[in-house]
Structures are given as structure tokens and as C-alpha cells.
A and B are shown apart, each in its own frame.
Chain A
Amino acid sequence: MSSIELTNLTKRFGDLVAVNNMDLEIKDKEFVALLGPSGCGKTTTMNMIAGIELPSDGHVSFDGNDITNTPMGKRGVGFVFQNYAIFIHMTVYKNLAFGLEVSGTPRGEIDQKVDDMAKLMRLTRQLDWPAERLSVNELQRLAIGRSAIVRPNIFLLDEPLSNLDAAFRAEMRTELKHLQHELEQTMVYVTHDQLEAMSMADRIAIMDMGILQQYGSPIDVYNRPENSFVARFIGAPSMNLLDGRIVGTNGSTKLDFGDIGNLTPDGNDPLAQACQNAQNSNVLFGVRPEDLKIQPSGSSDQVLSVKVTFIELIGPRSIIHVEGGGHQLKVVSDNQETIEIGTPVGIAPTGRTHLFDADSGQRVE
């Protein structure tokens, strides 16, 4: 049993506020990803959970017990460092056994547990090797095994996959998720890769400039981003955000995008309500490239007129870059028809759309 609660957590380094008044609650056995660009405060947050750094303000509690001032060695958290911090002067066996040896576990028990962990991490063959001989992939598994062997209730991982090659990274994503179920641990995972967070986490905490932007399930943050930062950060290719203005004309409202045209949401669309609520204001209109469709130019008045500037092939689909009236957008197309660069085309939203306030970036509904 181990839940984590962060309350008003703040960390200042001189004038820099690395983490600003952060509240976060992580349930027992939950897999939470701290996601954000570099410098957003995600690693600092994790270091404060581990006790590597002490907060300037606020509290960290495990299971309701305040452990803000408990030294890091006494918190019982497992921690996997970004560069693994393997004891390279020891053998693989010694690395795995370290946590058990320092706590005075009997030798027989250590051997048993090391064997089990080596099997789980596929390191049995390498047990007697000096750790310096391992490949990056093996080092990564060793780092996880070394922390997991002492059965910490809370497991913290700091960008553990960032040094791996793409193929192995994909494999490790599945494996980590599987491992978390097996070890029944609360896991906190720091990453800047939204794909890692989306594919593994139960909940994602998205951070920027030391501030928690949104906390929710992957589906939630993908489908209902609370602000334009989250909208832009989650999903690849990232969401199109168009500067526009909501104009009301005799009871009906429309989204005006200047030269490329305008959209009039029909009454059943949630967008219509949102537009009502943001009458006569500047907004950011968000639509994912997957939710746009290319149509013949001028085929209806619900189409924005743009020009194709660039086509990027991504396997079975392509990303079509279009431009018009100072706006640049991306459209994911399934290669059904051939389009040439320079052709004028129309684009129309076919799926979910989002509206954000142009000044605050907050979602408008």
C-alpha cells in the first residue's frame, strides 16, 4: 500500500521557481507519468518525492504520513536514474544484491532473490560479469532490477528509456507496464516523450514552467486538453491551433479565420455552445490533424481555402502541410488520392474540435 500526495509543493533555486505550488495525488498501485518539456520541473518534482531534494515549501506524504523531512534512505522508494548509476566496479550479481546486502539479509535469501530477479530481467547469463561489460539495454534492465529487488512500495523512474534505441524502447514500454502489474507498485515515471506517457501511464501529469497544467488519464488529456499548452504537447503530429475570432451575426455565431474563410458550427456541435460563450473574443481553434479532411477547394462554405506546401510520408499515411492567410496547418491523409504541392485545396474538420481563449490559453466550453 502506498499512495503519494503532494501538497503545495514548491522548489526554488535562487530566483528560479522550478516547481510552483504543485498539488498531486497518486493512488496506490497507480502508474503516473510526469510529462513535460525539459526544464518544466518534472525531474525536480520526482527528486522531491525521493528525498534527493528538499522542497522549499509544501509537503510530500506517503499514505497520509508526512515524509517531507524524512531522509532519502529511509523513504523506501526505488529510484532508476536516467543514466542508471550502475556500480560498474561490481559484478551484475553484486549490483542486484546491493540493496539486500546493506540491510543484512541472509546469504541464502539473497541468492534466491537475485536469481529470481535475474530471471525476470533476463540477466541470468550475465550474473558473474562485471557490470561495465553490459550493453545499454542490459544496464537499463539491471538498473530496474537493482531497485525492484528490495520491493519498494514506490518506484520512481527518471527518463529510463531515453538512452535506448527505438526498437528496444518500444519493447521496454510494454515490459515496464507488465512489470508494474507484476510488482504491484506505485510507479512514477518522468518523461518528455508524450508517446511513452500515453502508452504506459494510468494517469498523466503534464507540467510546464513548474506548473501542473493538467492531470488525467491519457484519453482524457488527449480528448479534452484543458489549455493550449496541453493541446499542443499531447499527440503527434501535434494539434493545429488557429488564431480566429468569434463573430456573432443575428443569433448565429461563426468562427472567422480571416482570408481563409470561416466556420459556422451547427447547433448540435459542442463547438456551437463554446462559441456562444466566447462571443466576440479572440480564440485559438484547435483541431487534430487526424480530424481534418482534404476536400476540393470551394466545395462548400464549411471549408477553409488553403494551399498545399509540403507532403511528409509516414508509412501508410502522410502529413500534408497546408498554408493560407498566414495560418499553417497539418492534415493527416490516408493517401487515398494524390495531391500535388501548390494545389489549392479545402480543409474541413470532421471530428472533435477544441476552443481555447487566445489570451489565457484556457479551454472554452
Chain B
Amino acid sequence: MASNPQTLTLAQQGAKLGRWMTLPTQLLLVFIFAFPGLMIIYVSLSWWGPLEGVPWYYAYESLNWFENYIYLFEDERLWGSIWRTLLIMLVVVPVEFFLGLGLAILFVDNFTGKRVFYSILLMPMMIVPAVAGYMFYILFQSNGPVNQLLSLITGFEIDILWLSETDNAFVAIMIADIWQWTPLMFLILLAGLLGVPEDQLKAATLLGANWGQKFLRIALPKMRIVMIIALVIRAVEAFKLFDVMYVMTKGGPGVATETISVYVYKVTFMELEWSYVSAIGFAILMFLTALGAIGIIILSNAQKKRLANVVD
């Protein structure tokens, strides 16, 4: 395998050309990520705020090194908001997953009116989250349609304070999120299900497999990647939950339903503590990056193990 500097192999030429072709995008990404990233790190190491009367690049004048980061650990409101974010994520993502999967299974076979139901099912996803939040805000008023409907069904006067009692507010927010995002889960999982080779399912049927066996042994393994993608997308989105919740409760009553996004928003625009917000943002970014890296390492190890089997 002699390769001299004058003659590049086709693969090397391709790689070289590829680097040139992607250069503009790479430069753009440097400006999008690197510049604000470095700025945030810089500001987070000071007391700088928009009311100081000095531009941000003079932040070194109030340099405090890691004071903001140390405060992170003592900030109970922050930890409360993180805990609530995780709680919502851990409830809504699995619920959306199983609802979406169930619906997807129903939609694999043809039935009359499939197209109509399909369109209706996808509609919530198309609605602007803030609008959806406002819709649920109206629905969950104490004299709103939800309570009226419950009264009608049960025959008792139902007067649940959906949005002003902590536990109820959580339930209301989760319902809104599930309503809006189950369709996305449904769409991704349906694509995964339709990608399962039909002849393999037929072969399994002819070998005597029942529905459950076919699903577990043929469909599920083939859908694994799609399922992981769907779960990751929704988990990340749920972590960033903001619009619906802000419109419905503004994090209230008090700070009882505050998620991480709402908390960061409040610190930024109401308390104007920009250096501290920078510290929060950077810490979360680091945390999520580490989490993502661990996930990728686990996945690629599994992949390596599988390939090692193939080559044995």
C-alpha cells in the first residue's frame, strides 16, 4: 500500500474536496457556536449585568471567577426547577411514547377513513405551542369547559382549581404537552413500523407466530433505532418545555410549576442577572453534553460488539 504525496487515492481526494466544500458551513458554525459560547463563559465569570452601564466586554472589571458557579449549588429554586423538569419529562415522554406506538400500530393496517383520522391526529403538532397553551389555559379555568364537562358526566358540581393548585397544575400541563406531542411520536413510530419488511412478517406468520411474537421478535428489533430517535427528540424537547407552561401557569402558583426554561427566562428578563444566567446555561450545556456523550459511547460500544461478532 504505497501512497506518495503526489498521487492521492480516490478516497483521499474525496475527503479533501469534502473539507473544502463544507468549509463555509464550518465557519458559520464557529460564529454561531463558538462566539456566543465563549461570550457566555466570559460573562459567567463576572458580576456583569445589563444595568451596570458598561458593555459586556468590560465584564473583567467585576471578575469574580467561580462565584456564580458556586451559587448554582446553593440555589434551591434552580434545583427545584430541574427536578420539576425531569418529573414532567419522565411522565410525558413514556406516556407519549406508548400512546404514539399504540396509534401507530392501529394505523399500519388500512381502514375506512384512515386518511381523515391521520390528518386529525397530526393537527395538534401543527399548532403553535403558545396558542395551544392558551387553549388549555381557557379549558382548565375553574369555571371552564373541563370542569363543566366533568360536572355533566358525574352529576356533581365539580370545581377543580386546575391551574392554581400545584399538583393539578402539573397534571394540566402534562395533559397539554401529551396532547400536543403524541402526534410527533406517532408519526415517527409509524414510519418505523412501516419500515419493517412485510415479507419477514409474512414469513413469521407462516411459521406460526402470533401477533405479539411478530411484534416482539421482528418489528421491535427493526424499530429500535427509530424508537431511540423518537425518545431522544421528545426527551430533549420536554427538557426545554416553556411556551405551554408559561402561558398556562407562568411557573405558578408561586414557583411551584417552574421548569428550568421558565426559571432561566425569569432570571434573565425579570431579575436581569445575566452573568448568573450565563453560568446556569453553560452548566446545563455541559451536563447535557456529558449525558449525550455517555449515550453515544454506550451505543457505539454496542455497535462495535455487534460488528465484532460479525467479523469474529
**Which residues of A does B touch, CB under 8 Å?**
50, 52, 72-73, 77-79, 81, 83, 85-87, 89-90, 98-99, 102-103, 129-130, 132-133, 146-147, 150
Contacts and interface: CB of A to CB of B under 8 A. Distances in A.
B216 to A, nearest CB: 10
Contacts, number: 62
A72 B209 CA distance: 11
B115 interface: no
Contact of A73 (B206, B218, B312): B206
Contacts of A73: 205-206, 208-210
Contacts of A150: 207-208
Nearest to A51: B206
B209 to A, nearest CB: 4
Contact of A103 (B202, B208, B309, B312): B208
Nearest to B224: A89
Most chain B CB neighbours (cut-off 10 Å) among A50, A89, A132: A89
Contacts of A79: 202-203, 206
B197 A102 contact: no
Given A85-B202, A102-B213, A130-B310, A147 B222 contact: no
A87 B202 contact: no
Interface residues of B, number: 21
B221 A89 contact: yes
Interface of B: 197, 199-200, 202-210, 213, 217-218, 221-222, 306, 309-310, 312
22 contacts: A50-B206, A52-B206, A73-B205, A73-B206, A73-B209, A79-B202, A79-B206, A83-B199, A85-B199, A85-B200, A85-B202, A89-B222, A90-B217, A98-B217, A99-B207, A102-B217, A103-B208, A129-B310, A130-B306, A130-B309, A146-B207, A147-B207
Contacts of A83: 199
A127 to B, nearest CB: 12
Contacts of B213: 102
Contacts of B312: 129
Interface of B is mostly: helix
Contacts of A78: 206
Nearest to B200: A85
B206 A77 contact: yes
A359 B147 CA distance: 81
A72 B206 contact: yes
Contacts of A133: 310
Contact of B197 (A77, A85, A90): A85
Nearest to A133: B310
A87 B217 CA distance: 9
Contacts of A98: 204, 207, 209, 217
Contacts of A103: 208
Contacts of A87: 200, 203-204, 217-218
Nearest to B202: A52
A81 B208 contact: no
A66 to B, nearest CB: 20
Contacts of B202: 52, 72, 79, 81, 85
A102 B221 contact: no
A72 B204 CA distance: 10
Contacts of B218: 87
Nearest to B213: A102
Given A85-B197, A85-B200, A89-B222, A99 B208 contact: yes
Contacts of A129: 310, 312
A77 B207 CA distance: 8
The 5 lowest CB-CB distance pairs between A and B, nearest first, are: A99-B207, A85-B199, A85-B203, A102-B209, A73-B205
A171 to B, nearest CB: 24
Most chain A CB neighbours (cut-off 10 Å) among B202, B204, B205, B206: B206
A79 B306 CA distance: 30
A103 B205 CA distance: 12
A293 B306 CA distance: 64
Contacts of B199: 81, 83, 85
Nearest to A77: B206
B192 to A, nearest CB: 14
Nearest to A88: B200
B206 A102 contact: no
Contacts of A72: 202, 205-206
B32 to A, nearest CB: 39
Contact of A102 (B207, B306, B309): B207
A150 B204 CA distance: 12
A90 B221 CA distance: 9
Contacts of B200: 85-87
B37 to A, nearest CB: 40
